[in-house]
A = this chain, B = another copy of it.
């Protein structure tokens, strides 16, 4: 029986404050499909978090949240730009193409999941002709799939040239809490020109919920219909909204992420393998040969080998010091044996 503690940050359960919010707002009657006061209150908290005037909706899947946003930002015969190892480009089973009617993706390179500005520049200057899906949007992820965190300046250096040529901006914030805990101010997103932001709840310790934040006001037209058409308008929507009140009212969203980030730091510090990406958020990526990886799995620890060949270990709000130390002990064992 394998332990999944570090397999992902979605293997953790829900934090007490989330479960409490579900109980708090789960009684009585409320309008459905997002028209209720719980959704309104959670929406206000999200708007305050990002300091934006925006439409806010809640869905159960981050893949769906991203795909729905991207489909709103580009036409089916266009494409979005994204890091080649980003979730939207490599880990969503074609959902953006499905939601976007065959919309394309143009993969960009860059270290540790951050897009290389030069690669972006080349893509923005590429010829725009009828035989390719030209870019209409840029998707950025903070913190990245490799545990790095964009500074506001670094994000702005990507957003500005994209906006200058008319692209719309999507932010995948599945781990925005971890970026925030690392010092990134979520309020920078709107200021820098993001049009659609997905704020992650699930990986931050919630039951399934992601917030879709549509800053570009033209995207809000018939938004309920857009969601329902796409299978993303949940009837008892307050149960997707309530966790946000639990997470945001007293700062748990960032506080829990800070714990996850700290656990990643501890893990990296005690780990005998080479850490291949900067540990700025809640993930640790290790260079590990087949034998060592096999021994780690044999020792009962589940972990993914990800696209760049490294072994990914994710920490979450629920990661304990004991688990980190148990894992690093196993890692040291795997190392010694190799």
Alpha-carbon separation in the docked complex, A103 to B104 (Å): 11
The yes or no answer to A124 lying at the interface (CB within 8 A) is no
Q: How far, in angstroms, from A64 to B230 measured CA to CA in the complex?
A: 8
Q: Is A77 an interface residue (CB 8 A)?
A: yes
Query: Which residue of B29, B33, B79, B208 contacts A239 across the interface (Cβ within 8 Å)?
Result: B208
Surface stretch bound by B, among A9-17, A140-148, A188-196, A252-260: A9-17
Give Cα A240–Cα B175 distance, bound, in whole angstroms.
22
- Find out whether the CB atom of A207 lies under 8 angstroms from the CB atom of B102: no
Q: Is A50 an interface residue (CB 8 A)?
A: no
B64 touches A231 (CB 8 A): yes
Q: Is the CB of A131 within 8 A of B13?
A: no
In whole angstroms, what is the CA distance A61 to B32 when docked? 12
Is residue A234 contacting chain B, with contact meaning CB distance below 8 A?
Answer: yes
Establish whether residues A8 and B26, one from each chain, have CB atoms under 8 Å apart when the complex forms.
no
Which 3 A/B pairs are nearest by Cβ-Cβ distance? A130-B224, A64-B231, A98-B102
A227 is contacted by which of B26, B130, B232, B318 (Cβ under 8 Å)? B130
Give the CA-CA distance A114 to B128 in the complex, in Å. 27
Do the beta carbons of A29 and B14 come within 8 Å of each other? no
Asked if A225 and B10 sit within 8 Å, CB to CB, the answer is no
